[in-house]
Amino acid sequence: MDGSASSSGGRSAAAPARMTTVSRHYFGGGASERDHDLRVDIIENIEEDYGMFVWPCSIILAEYVWQQRSRFSGSRVVELGAGTSLPGLVAAKVGAHVTLTDIAQNTEVLNNIRRICALNNANCNVLGLTWGDWDDPIFDLHPDIILGADVLYDSPKFDDLFATVTFLLENCPGGHHLIEFLMVKWGLKCLKLVDGFSFLPPCKAASLQGNIQLVEIALDKEIPKRPSGDELSDSTKARRRDAGMGYVELTVTGCRDGILGADSRS
């Protein structure tokens, strides 16, 4: 059957079958079906939300996590805008304690993340977290490392993203001109900018295209404060007050690591 049916006798047509598939991603060895050290299976639905299929940047970041696996083992990791969660799942498989997050209202994506975790026998916490919303769950997160793949594509959300990143980094124990501006605004700095194809196995690079960069970001400890009240919008001030963060003379606290992200958009 093609997943559809004509109506008869007053009955409405059946809903079309969902275009669900499972993609397999290999790491280590030859990164192939016959030669690999780790396999992660991802449930995708190309007809659904952006968060229901694997974006190229997710493949790049997942490979980076694998190649840096000694750094991730034993770390507390939060993936923002996780979607199909490939980078976070690799982190979990190499020994990290992982929380996978996506928009709180997007229950379909969150439920798919849970199904993917079950499929891969990955013990990850799945949490609804909307950037810039200071709900109770965000206060319980104390990440050593934050992951984000394909999160820098919607410029109106950049401010909320970096507000969330900064709060999470302060809460821990230890290309684009607008992006650069907001990084300075929020007291962040770029530690590393890497061509995504420079470390990707050829068998994976062959299926991808575009200019994909991986950027590593951390708190800039040399910056004594973040924007004053006059430099912040009223909505940002309100969100920071609600979060108990304030918006004048904020001191940067130490943290071991920053955010690992990849962005394919100019």
User: Given this model, what pLDDT does residue 223 score?
Assistant: 57
Q: What confidence tier does 178 reach under pLDDT thresholds 50, 70, 90?
A: low
Q: How far apart are CA 171 and CA 250, in angstroms?
A: 13
Q: Angle at CA 169, nearest 5°, toward 164 and 172?
A: 125
If you average pLDDT over residues 248-259, what whole number do you get?
35
CA 234, 235, 241, 246 torsion-angle sign: negative
Structure tokens belonging to residue 19: 């275009």
Mean pLDDT across 173-182: 59
Please state the φ and ψ torsions of residue 203, each to the nearest 5 degrees: -65, -25
- Between 98-112, 218-232, 237-251, the lowest mean confidence (pLDDT) is in 237-251
Instruction: Look at 5 and 140; give whichever has higher pLDDT.
Output: 140
Q: Model confidence at 2, in pLDDT bands (50, 70, 90)?
A: very low
The tens digit of pLDDT for each residue in 190-228 reads 888 888 889 999 999 888 888 888 888 888 876 555 554
What percent of the chain has a predicted confidence (pLDDT) above 90?
42
pLDDT value, residue 153: 80
Would you place residue 121 in the very low, low, confident or very high pLDDT band (cuts 50, 70, 90)? very high
Mean pLDDT of 95-103: 96
pLDDT in tens, 15-33: 445 678 999 999 999 999 9
pLDDT at 245 over 70: no
Quote the pLDDT of residue 253: 30
Phi-psi region of 169 (alpha: psi -120 to 50; beta: other; left: phi over 0): alpha
Computed over every residue of the chain, the mean pLDDT equals 78
Residue 12 clears pLDDT 50, i.e. is over it: no
Q: What percent of the chain has pLDDT above 70?
A: 71
- Please report where in the chains the tokens 């079958």 appear, as a residue: 17
Q: Can you tell me the distance from the alpha carbon of 239 to that of 123, in angstroms, rounded to the nearest whole number?
A: 32
Whether pLDDT at 230 is above 70: no
Measured distance CA(185)–CA(232) in Å, rounded:
10
Cα end-to-end span (Å), the chain: 42
What are the tens digits of pLDDT across the range 48-91?
567 788 988 999 999 999 999 999 999 999 999 999 999 999 99
Q: What's residue 246's pLDDT?
A: 35
> In sequence order, what are the residues at sequence separation of 6 or more whose Cβ sits closer than 8 angstroms to the Cβ of residue 163?
131, 132, 186, 236, 239, 240
Question: What is the pLDDT averaged over residues 111-139?
Answer: 92
What pLDDT, on a 0 to 100 scale, did the predictor assign at position 233? 56
